[in-house]
Amino acid sequence: MKKFVTVFLLATCCLMACAQGGGVPVDGIVAIIGKEIIMQSDLEKHYLDYTSQFKTVEDPFETKCYVLETLVFNKLMVNQADLDSIEVSDEEVDYRINARIAYFLQQVGGDEKFIENYFHKSMSQIKKEMREMMYEQALIEQVQYKITGNITITPSEVKKFAAGISTDSMPMVPTSYQFGEIVKIPPVSDEEVEAVKKRLNEYRERILRGEKISMLARLYSDDPGSASKGGDLGFVERGTLYPEFEAAAFNLKSGEVSQIVKTQAGYHIIQMIERKGESIHVAHILIQPKPSTDEQVRAITYLDSVRAIIVNEKLDIGEAAKRFSEGSSKENGGLAVNPYTNSNSFDKQSLDETTFMTLNKLIPGEYSECVPFVNDDGVMAYRLLYLKEKVAEHKANIVEDYDMIKNAALEEKKYNALQKWVVDKVKVTSIKLSEQYKDCDFVTKWQIP
């Protein structure tokens, strides 16, 4: 069954829709929803963006109807936000604009000029044109949350949802792994730390003399996520980075370079690019002190002896992690947590190649030999991997995949509540659509004169 494309889908492409220039036909009103209107130019912009994203369009009229219904749905939400006196601060809108720009900058290597040249507009013009859409997106999200935010689902509802899906329609679930780890982090010498600080101070002096932090970050930074982007972290909100990093960064003025900052990830220097309220746009260079070869050998030897103890004493992973591990999973009974799902289950796509290859050779209950890895803070370490469970690829079922089916059932319940709200709201809202779209096969029966 067709469903609405809500604001969240269109918002992923909003930079394109907002920045589109000419090429639209003579303007006119195509829909009125309460106090809100949709112009022909609005429809054309979103239609062009939709078709540019999805490439092939079998029926242009049907696609335009599809986009129009989404816009009507969104305007119905905006109209309701006005009736409910919902407000959105300028700071919130600024944050959304900057976050969206930061996302697109990540896709093009942090190059603002690329975006400006592509749209033939300055960044300030692009941001200005995004403002209304970002404002409306915030309003719509608040209205949707008022409708669906308190919806929960019971086990009996999950079972009923699963029973209503035929076995043939159930998706295939890829092979998954639950595993534990015993981690050893080799210590770093004081001499290595001093050498790192000396390098960073040299880089800082070079930046102060006029060199670009972007060039130095590409050459020397140990942050794999930002080095290729010239150390650019884009816009980030307060509370998302290491506390020590934020404390230094939020005290910087535009263009200023920090002194050396120590975090769990290593040692940084930070340059402020721009600040908007509680969001900052910064670049940094990270250098991670490396343990000596001798310390790495000691870590490997230690884990080899630990493995022998675990096997001989038949320790379970929880007890073994409590006694021997230095990893964060120690607090979770030794089991690794998938950051994408917040569960203990991993599929191949959520594992790095070395971890996947190691786990795939184990049988449940078996420990691996010592293997190197880089932890969540980017620090070099070693670990023993323990395979707790391996579930082969299978059709989804409520026994093995309860959480996945529960989430799907909850999303359908929220969708149904939202659809019911729309149907009820249409009955009491003045909605008029242009005659040229009277033949559209809409999901909802909008009022057409």
Structure tokens at 171: 């998706």
CA of residue 65 relative to chain centroid, distance: 30
**Separation between Cα atoms, residue 279 and residue 26, nearest integer Å:** 39
Where do the domains of the chain lie? 7-152+408-437, 173-187+292-395, 190-287
pLDDT score for 16: 55
* Greater model confidence, 381 or 447: 381
**Separation between Cα atoms, residue 340 and residue 329, nearest integer Å:** 16
Q: What is the pLDDT of residues 24-41, one digit of tens each?
A: 455 799 999 999 999 999
In this structure, which amino acid lies at residue 385? Answer: L
**Separation between Cα atoms, residue 162 and residue 408, nearest integer Å:** 9
Q: What is the pLDDT of residues 181-198, one digit of tens each?
A: 999 999 999 999 999 999
Half-sphere exposure of 45 (CA within 13 A, CB side): 22
**Separation between Cα atoms, residue 322 and residue 299, nearest integer Å:** 17
Instruction: Please tell me whether residue 200 adopts helix, strand or coil conformation.
Output: helix
Unique residue bearing structure tokens 């917040």: 342
**Residues linked to residue 338 through DSSP beta bridges, in sequence order:** 343
**Separation between Cα atoms, residue 422 and residue 70, nearest integer Å:** 12
What is the four-CA torsion angle of 413, 417, 418, 419, rounded to 10 degrees? 100
Same fold, 7-152+408-437 and 173-187+292-395: no
* pLDDT above 50 for 211: yes
* pLDDT above 50 for 10: no
Taking the CA atoms of 331, 333, 338 and 343 in sequence, report the sign of the dihedral they define.
negative
pLDDT score for 327: 85
**Separation between Cα atoms, residue 19 and residue 49, nearest integer Å:** 10
pLDDT score for 51: 85
Give the DSSP letter string of 292-330.
-HHHHHHHHHHHHHHHHHHHHHT--HHHHHHHH--SGGG
Q: What percent of the chain has pLDDT over 70?
A: 92
Q: What is the pLDDT of residues 78-125, one digit of tens each?
A: 999 999 999 998 888 888 888 888 777 767 666 677 888 888 888 888
Mean pLDDT, all residues of the chain: 89
Q: What percent of the chain has pLDDT over 90?
A: 67
In contact, 180 and 386? CB cutoff 8 Å: yes
pLDDT score for 307: 97
Range 204-217 average pLDDT:
96
pLDDT score for 139: 96
Range 8-26 average pLDDT:
51
Give the DSSP letter string of 343-411.
BS-EEGGGS-HHHHHHHHT--TTPBP--EEEE-TTS-EEEEEEEEEEEE-SEE--TTT-HHHHHHHHHH
Taking the CA atoms of 412, 414, 416 and 418 in sequence, report the sign of the dihedral they define.
negative
Structure tokens at 7: 């604001």
pLDDT score for 17: 58
Give the DSSP letter string of 59-89.
-HHHHHHHHHHHHHHHHHHHHHHHHTT----
* pLDDT above 70 for 5: no
Range with the poorest average pLDDT among 19-23, 246-250, 299-303, 304-308: 19-23
* pLDDT above 90 for 239: no
* Greater model confidence, 141 or 225: 141
For domain 7-152+408-437, the CATH architecture is Orthogonal Bundle (1.10)
CB under 8 Å to 139, separation ≥6 — which residues? 77, 78, 81, 86, 88
> Which CATH code for domain 173-187+292-395?
3.10.50.40
CB atoms within 10 A of CB 383: 26
pLDDT score for 26: 56
Q: What is the pLDDT of residues 378-401, one digit of tens each?
A: 788 999 999 999 999 999 999 989
> Which CATH code for domain 190-287?
3.10.50.40
**Separation between Cα atoms, residue 381 and residue 206, nearest integer Å:** 32
Range 366-377 average pLDDT:
91
* pLDDT above 70 for 13: no
